[in-house]
Amino acid sequence: MSAPATPASPAPSWTTGTTPNRFAALPAGRLGRLGGRLMRLLNRGQQREVLALLAAGEVDGAVEVVEVGPGPGALLGLLTARADVRRVIGVEPSVDMRALAIRANAAAIAAARLEVRPGDAATTGLPDGCADVVVSVNTVAIWPDLDSGAGELRRLLRPGGRLLLSWHGGRAPSRAARPLLLDEATLGRIETALRRRFDTVERTMTRRCTVFDARVARATRLDPNPPAR
């Protein structure tokens, strides 16, 4: 059976109310493949900054990581290269990005350290509590619905789990990223959506990224309908 194609008429994003573009937001076709290759170069520093945050956190033993919206798969490669990461699953809605990510990480896939599968932030198709870490870089403002995505990523985490949700920003955003920066009201909405579901949420500014670092307590019960705070 062939992999599902990138959705033909994607839903508008919750931040702009417009359909994600085919270049970088939901890459498709020739233009999308070009966008994917550019992202691999331009966002490389951001992937490393997010990985450094992950490495700085306490991790007990080998972890299982889900990356949502990996695009061309640069961070998937960095994650699978780490000895403290047992297995990585990339969930990506764009068929063209999945193809780039699979090609770039063929050895890790052959070694059963990586799986790249179709899905999106609201519908990963993965079971409850399958991950110690969920990471997503430069996708949150593109999602159609913030709450559906936040709830789904929380559902994937085990007790003690951690979500790193990153967007362009940080202390010194690049010139290319400046038009993409989110205003404080939008960042505040992300933080509120996470606080409804996670036990702690911190906002961290790296050089190029604004990262929401959200954690699940070690012993916790998942409330599917959390009260608004």
Residues that bind ligand SAM (CB under 6 A): 20, 24-27, 39, 43, 68-71, 92-94, 97, 120-121, 137-139, 142-143
Nearer to ligand SAM, 48 or 217 (CB): 48
Q: How far is the CB of 169 from ligand SAM (least distance, A)?
A: 13
* Alpha-carbon distances, residue 142 vs 1, 14, 169 (angstroms): 28, 7, 15
Q: Which is nearer to ligand SAM, 25 or 63 (CB)?
A: 25
Is 145 in contact with 118 (CB distance < 8 Å)?
A: no
Q: Of 22 and 87, which has the nearer Cβ to ligand SAM?
A: 22
Exposure string (b/e) for 77-88, b if CB count within 10 Å is 16 or more? bbbbebeebebb
Residue placing its CB nearer to ligand SAM in the complex, 10 or 161 = 10
Query: Smallest distance, Å, CB 138 to ligand SAM?
Result: 4
Burial class (CB in 10 A: 0-12, 13-18, 19+), 152: buried
What 8-state DSSP symbol labels residue 4? Answer: P
Give me the least distance between CB of 174 and ligand SAM, in Å please: 13
Instruction: Tell me the closest approach of the beta carbon of residue 144 to ligand SAM, in angstroms.
Output: 6
Q: Which residues contact 60 (CB under 8 A, 6 or more apart)?
A: 160
Nearer to ligand SAM, 169 or 229 (CB): 169
The least CB distance from residue 137 to ligand SAM, in Å, is 4
Residues 194, 79, 103: CA angle, nearest 5 degrees = 115
Q: How far is CA 45 from CA 54, 116, 165, in A?
A: 14, 22, 16
Which residue sits closest to ligand SAM, CB atoms considered?
A: 71
